[in-house]
């Protein structure tokens, strides 16, 4: 019985790992895009509204790309992931459209959700790099792109590794939410034993899988932090 449970939990854990890996794969680049979007200074200035104390017109800058990104981050961070899963899966049906396949709906919800959290981590990391680094690049004749990729990026990576480690370990456990729209991950597999055999212990046994995997990730992030320890920034 133990081996049978282990095997079927492993199968469920395969789905857990798939959701985990694909979410990381897509959410990290999307998070970078959203981070740059919310820092974007593309826009225009409204001169009509607002007056300063001395009666001068005070121009109000409007950055549409940044506004859209910040709105998205607000909505996604401000609502539960479980609700987002339900909206993305059932929403199209309620509006009379075609349902997404369950797995696709899970991936959309997870990628967008995690991209928003990542984007805030990236934005914090990028904005924490002192202006002097960019200025040093500029006076040495480097372009902004050269400065970003050759000077700033690794310093950002160093700064975002600890918060990213945190977020990524949260992701491992958040994958269990996929079961609310019946995507069969490890918790689902364990619950099947409650329903079919009245066995509770397989559910508790899932903790071992989660713990082993998050332990592995902890070691990995510790290693990366150590690798980047050779400089201070």
Subset of residues 112 to 131 that bind another protein, contact rule: CB under 8 A: 130
Helix, strand, or coil (residue 46): strand
In whole angstroms, how close is the CB of 54 to another protein at the nearest point? 9
- Binding-site size, another protein (CB under 8 A): 22
Give the residue, chosen from 42, 94, 139, 196, that forms a contact with another protein under the rule CB under 8 A: 139
Helix, strand, or coil (residue 42): coil
CA dihedral angle for residue 33, residue 39, residue 41, residue 45, rounded to 10 degrees = 120
Helix, strand, or coil (residue 211): helix
Give the residue, chosen from 46, 140, 182, 216, that forms a contact with another protein under the rule CB under 8 A: 140
Answer positive or negative: Cα dihedral of 23, 26, 29, 32. Answer: negative
In whole angstroms, how close is the CB of 150 to another protein at the nearest point? 7
In whole angstroms, how close is the CB of 141 to another protein at the nearest point? 5
Instruction: Rank residues 131 and 195 by Cβ distance to another protein and give the closer one.
Output: 131
Q: 150 to each of 132, 154, 156, 158, how far by Cα in Å?
A: 15, 8, 11, 14
**Residue 232 touches another protein, criterion: CB under 8 A:** yes
In whole angstroms, how close is the CB of 56 to another protein at the nearest point? 9
Query: Structure tokens of 141?
Result: 């004749």
Give the residue, chosen from 30, 151, 199, 217, that forms a contact with another protein under the rule CB under 8 A: 151
CA dihedral angle for residue 10, residue 15, residue 20, residue 21, rounded to 10 degrees = 100
**Residue 39 touches another protein, criterion: CB under 8 A:** no
Q: 170 to each of 31, 91, 186, how far by Cα in Å?
A: 16, 26, 16
**Residue 155 touches another protein, criterion: CB under 8 A:** yes
In whole angstroms, how close is the CB of 38 to another protein at the nearest point? 26
Chain residues that interact with another protein, rule: CB under 8 A: 130, 132-133, 135-143, 146, 150-151, 154-155, 158, 230-233
């Amino acid at each position: 019985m133990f081996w049978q449970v282990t095997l079927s939990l492993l199968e469920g854990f395969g789905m857990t790992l798939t959701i985990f890996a694909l979410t990381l794969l897509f959410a990290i680049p999307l998070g970078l895009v959203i981070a740059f979007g919310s820092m974007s200074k593309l826009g225009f200035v409204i001169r009509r509204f607002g007056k300063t104390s001395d009666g001068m017109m005070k121009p109000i800058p409007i950055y549409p790309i940044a506004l859209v990104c910040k709105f998205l981050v607000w909505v996604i961070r401000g609502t539960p992931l479980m609700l987002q899963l339900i909206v993305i899966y059932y929403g199209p049906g309620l509006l009379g459209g075609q349902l997404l396949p369950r797995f696709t709906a899970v991936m959309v919800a997870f990628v967008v959700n995690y991209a928003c959290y990542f984007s805030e981590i990236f934005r914090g990391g990028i904005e924490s790099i002192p202006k002097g680094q960019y200025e040093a690049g500029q006076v040495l004749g480097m372009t902004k792109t050269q400065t970003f990729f050759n000077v700033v990026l690794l310093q950002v990576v160093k700064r975002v590794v600890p918060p990213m480690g945190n977020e990524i370990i949260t992701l491992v456990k958040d994958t269990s939410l996929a079961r609310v729209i019946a995507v069969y991950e490890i918790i689902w597999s364990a619950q099947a034993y409650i329903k079919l055999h009245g066995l509770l212990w397989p559910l508790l046994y899932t903790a071992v899988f989660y713990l082993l995997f998050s332990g592995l990730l902890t070691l990995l992030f510790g290693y990366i932090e150590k690798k980047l320890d050779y400089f201070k920034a």
